[in-house]
Chain A
Amino acid sequence: MTETDPAHVIETRGLIKIYRMGPTEVRALDGVDLDVRRGEYLSIMGPSGSGKSTLMNMLGCLDSPTEGSYRLDGVEVSGLTDAELAAVRNRKIGFVFQTFNLLPRYTAQVNVELPLLYSGASRAERRRRAHEALQTVGLGDRTDHRPNELSGGQRQRVALARALVNDPAILLADEPTGNLDTRVGQEILRLFDELHAQGRTVVVVTHDPEVAARAERVVRVVDGRIVEDGPGARFARTASPAPVDGPGAG
């Protein structure tokens, strides 16, 4: 067992995920070692089917690895029960989904309050924090709108507010701009930049080089393995990413 580095919010070692579909096995993750520092802006890139979403599911505690260890904020996650995992998701992780996944027929305010509902905050506290989060994403004047009364970009900002409302240790986003047009996508990415600037840990999964380029560090995944790990284009426009050829990189 490696010592936990307190600077690392994420530490995975030998993460393997195998999907069994009848007689066939899909090795979606094939030994992933990944460390993410607190406050880092990381993007995970790779072609479709390479295992990005699977990795993201592991990092978000949405699913358990077949093998390997995962420490989130210093806590080994692989041994936790389902209820404990739910609590971890609730307190430490903020999700942004490609399809927004807002509750239809509920106002933006209610949607953002949702995670607080299960962390024991009082009603007034919930209202205040949800409102703050909506202001952070620039929707302070849209709190009473329902998802179908909002544009795609506004919906994704509500989702971002919902991800932030619990003040999570990491913000995880899977193809956050996948359902948005370029201009609106840019707005969302600017918000990510701001959040990073405020010191948040951000992990964005994408197949789009433009999106990946905004991160300070890019990890490239192919066939369930990390094949490249280096600075993002914006930070190292001249340097080509360093190839990775062994575990423990980063």
Chain B
Amino acid sequence: MLGRKLRREIGRQKGQIGAVLVVMALGISLFVGSYAGYLDLDASYARSQRELRLADVHVDVVRATAADVARVAGLPGVEAAEGRVVVSLPLVVPGADRADGGAGSVKVEARFIGLPGEGQPDHDRVFVQRGDLPGADDEVLLEFHFAEGHRISPGDTLEVPLPGRTAALKVAGIAASAEYLWVARDAQDFMPGPQEFGVVWMRRDGIRTLAEALAPLPPPLGLGLALAGTAGGSAHATAVAAEAGASNQVLYMLAEGADPAAVKAAAGEALGEGNALASTSRDQLVGVRLLQMDVDGLRDMAGFFPVMFLAVGAFIVAALLSRLVDAQRPLIGTMLALGVPRRRVLGHYLSFSLGVGAAGSVLGALGGIALGALLTREYARELRIPFVSVEVRPGLVASGIGIGLLVALLAGLGPARRAAAIPPAEAVRPSAPPVGRGLTLFRHVGAGLPVPVRMGLRNLVRHPGRAAATAAGVAASLMLVLTTSALVDSMDRGIDLQFQEAMRYDLRADLLLPQPAEDLGGRVAGIPGAAVMETVLSLPVRLSAGGRHQDSLLHGVPRGASLLRSVDFDGVERMPRAGGVVIGRPVATKLGLAVGDPVDVSLLPSGTPRRLRVDAVSDTTLGGFTVMGLEDARGAFGLGGLSNTVLVGLASPGDREAVRAALQELPGVLRLHDVASVRVELGRMMGLAYAMVGAMLAFSVVLAAAILFNTATLAILERQRELATMRAIGRPMGSIAAMITFENGLLGLLGLVAGLPLSVWAIREALALYSSDLFSLPFVLTARTFGIAALGVVLVLLVAEWPGLRQVARMNLAEVVRSREG
């Protein structure tokens, strides 16, 4: 009987119940799917790291001998240790048929990682996907991003330019590694394209042969320091690589229960004073961190959106049920008078909300299982995760359903309890149940205004709850839509700032060693198509203050530089004065630095610290660069007249290939950096982010529409009788519609006013969530975005009146006015 009544109710409220089902099902599938995806991927990464024995700690060292490594291995708390060489060398991919559509040979920076003479290393093993491990000293194994970017297959040949000759290297195989599932060169350059950077494994002896051939290069003015990149990419590293048995990286595994900090200190001591440069724990490796951030994004999504969806679902369920209870008050009273126990009334309305919740949850759980599997499969395929671990998680599915039911239960509890508390005497009272006492305070609201306006205003204050619900619905809708659209604006602006304002060159050539700027400039000026040229210094440095350190890339740029500038999120250029530096926000935060503070800057790996002054702290999209005047930097680091980086602006995009080719033929060029390909790479990454935000925007629009339709429809249905009575006494439908529109317009305005600060807050929260020391975005909220979102919300609100008004127009007036019972 009650069940039948329930079914009828469901039949009558198809639209709204459909909305709740969609919203709840989306919420639960997002929860189950993203969380399952998160757990699977997290487990897959962990499993890949375990299977491939990714070292717990990577220590970059100036130089370690076999005896140094043995000392580390013998430390208490160290389970195993191993030394290896990591060195950056230029690598030429001949006649490349590049995945980016370009052609012709390309010179890239290849990070050569040493392998033992036979088989796999003990730590940081490789997962060979095609071909084999190198079988000879002149064979290499390529990291798969690099191989795919150049369409290289096992059996192809690559070249390393050496003084006076080239060394031909045969590709033995293609592999993935746990360290480079996300290929990052370093924290500053965390998404280099395959046209610039690649990871290559080679037997230790093969690397020694190459390094020996390069070693006769004169050390720059006796400095012997790393200048063209971090520890791996340096003349110094080349020198270490040329030395049999020497390493510049020590990897170790912690023993069970060891204290990482204590072991780190002991290892530093064992390796000798000043020898250990940086000690990076496994989860702090740049590539690992970025993957983790990516996966954590999934987890956050598993939290944020389901909460939004379920909150909206709960809101709709509660509103629906409230309305139902209000409409059925006399009925409930009659049932109670006839002796129906209160708990049955409670149960009846709860079963209504639970039924909706159960249907939504089960649908959502099914969708979630599919979504989770899809996410894991796509990620695993895209990233070539070597060891994928997919689990069926009945517990997660059950919690998804449980959460859905709980939300439905909580949403239904209020109205259901209200229903069960109706005094049975209510049934006997022939008058209509009392509605909204209103705020007597506002009894005289609108006095002196035209009657229709006054009536509209009074209607609002007479039902403050209903008015507040509609305004809150508008505010929430605005917040949802505005936050996601503003995120798109922020991404666009952040990228524009980085590539149109800060990095204004088209091509950059990094040299293995600094060269006299004048010679360099003369050579580049002779390249046809190179319209603008600047020579700068790019130095890996360590910033220290208050006992804390942060490694960064320092750019020494000429005064009035036009190709590489430090531009803040507000679009203003921030350049240092003499003796000063401009640092990035993440560095400032990490070291606790403010403008005017002193900071010690030393060249990596082991230069003498220079005391400089913080002239500005700059918010930038990518990483924490440090900027200094060129002459200042030359003076501070003893590099008078030298530059190690050339920036080139092209006369026209058509000259790109020719200028590239000429630049990579310049003597001493380690790597070419092509902004166009960075933009391609960034576009690929941003494509994913845009897709994500796009999905979020679509969700927000669905949610906003659901909120608005429900608030607007219910607000009309709640006063159906009142409106029908108005019609009965001769008020035309058009006038009723105008009154409702006026009220909704007013509430919409109120909601927009309340929603704006809410949105600003939410945008800031969202930006904070997505920013890190690697990447951050400016706060952007344009009048245009606000206008479109506000207009959209108000339009939907007005359209949302229609179903309710249509119902009022179709009502059988005689029935309604005669009696509320059939």
Question: Which A residues form the contact surface with B (CB < 8 A)?
Answer: 53, 56-57, 60, 62-63, 82-83, 86-91, 93, 95, 97-105, 110, 113-115, 117-119, 146-148, 155, 162, 174-175, 178-179
Contact = CB atoms under 8 A, between A and B. Distances in A.
A174 B344 CA distance: 26
Contacts of A91: 339
Contacts of A100: 819, 821
A103 B9 CA distance: 13
Contacts of A113: 1
B821 A147 contact: yes
28 contacts: A53-B425, A53-B428, A56-B428, A62-B423, A63-B424, A82-B341, A83-B342, A86-B336, A87-B341, A88-B339, A89-B337, A89-B339, A90-B340, A95-B427, A97-B427, A99-B819, A101-B330, A101-B337, A101-B821, A102-B821, A102-B822, A105-B822, A115-B338, A147-B821, A147-B822, A155-B821, A162-B338, A174-B428
B821 A62 contact: no
B425 A63 contact: yes
A63 B5 CA distance: 27
B813 to A, nearest CB: 14
B548 interface: no
Nearest to A91: B339
Contact of B429 (A53, A83, A162): A53
A82 B336 CA distance: 10
B340 A86 contact: yes
Contacts of B399: none
Contact of A118 (B339, B430, B819, B820): B339
A148 B428 contact: no
Interface in B311-342: 330-331, 333-342
B165 interface: no
B822 A101 contact: no
Contacts of B815: 148
Contacts of A89: 336-339, 424
B9 to A, nearest CB: 11
B784 interface: no
Contact of B424 (A62, A147, A155): A62
Interface string B803-822: 00000000000010001111
Contacts of B331: 101, 103
B148 to A, nearest CB: 66
Interface string B780-822: 0000000000000000000000000000000000010001111
A104 B816 CA distance: 12
Contacts of B428: 53, 56-57, 60, 62, 95, 97-98, 174
A98 B821 CA distance: 11
Given A62-B425, A82-B342, A91-B339, 12 more contacts: A53-B428, A57-B425, A62-B336, A99-B330, A99-B821, A101-B427, A105-B8, A118-B338, A147-B821, A148-B815, A155-B821, A175-B430
B822 A178 contact: no
A53 B431 CA distance: 13
A88 B336 CA distance: 11
Nearest to B336: A86
Contacts of A147: 821-822
A178 B339 contact: no
A146 B822 CA distance: 8
B339 A87 contact: yes
A155 B336 CA distance: 20
B154 to A, nearest CB: 76
Contacts of A148: 815, 822
A155 B340 CA distance: 21
B822 A60 contact: no
B330 A117 contact: no
Contacts of B820: 99
Nearest to B815: A148
Residue of B338, B341, B425, B427 with highest tally of chain A CB at under 10 A: B338
Interface string B548-575: 0000000000000000000000000000
B800 to A, nearest CB: 27
A155 to B, nearest CB: 8
Contacts of B330: 99, 101
Given A53-B428, A104-B822, A105-B822, A97 B334 contact: yes
A56 B174 CA distance: 91
Nearest to B345: A86
B124 to A, nearest CB: 71
A90 B822 contact: no
A124 B819 CA distance: 33
Contacts of B429: 53
B609 to A, nearest CB: 77
A53 B423 CA distance: 14
Contacts of B430: 97-99, 175, 178-179
B605 to A, nearest CB: 81
A155 B334 CA distance: 15
Given A53-B428, A57-B428, A62-B425, A114 B338 contact: yes
A83 B338 contact: no
Interface in B341-397: 341-344
A108 to B, nearest CB: 11
B380 to A, nearest CB: 55
A30 B429 CA distance: 20
A110 B1 CA distance: 9
A114 B429 CA distance: 21
A88 to B, nearest CB: 8
A1 B344 CA distance: 36
B336 A114 contact: no
Nearest to A113: B1
Contacts of A101: 330-331, 333-334, 337, 427, 821
Given A97-B334, A99-B430, A178-B430, A118 B340 contact: yes
Given A101-B331, A146-B822, A115 B427 contact: no
A95 B821 contact: no
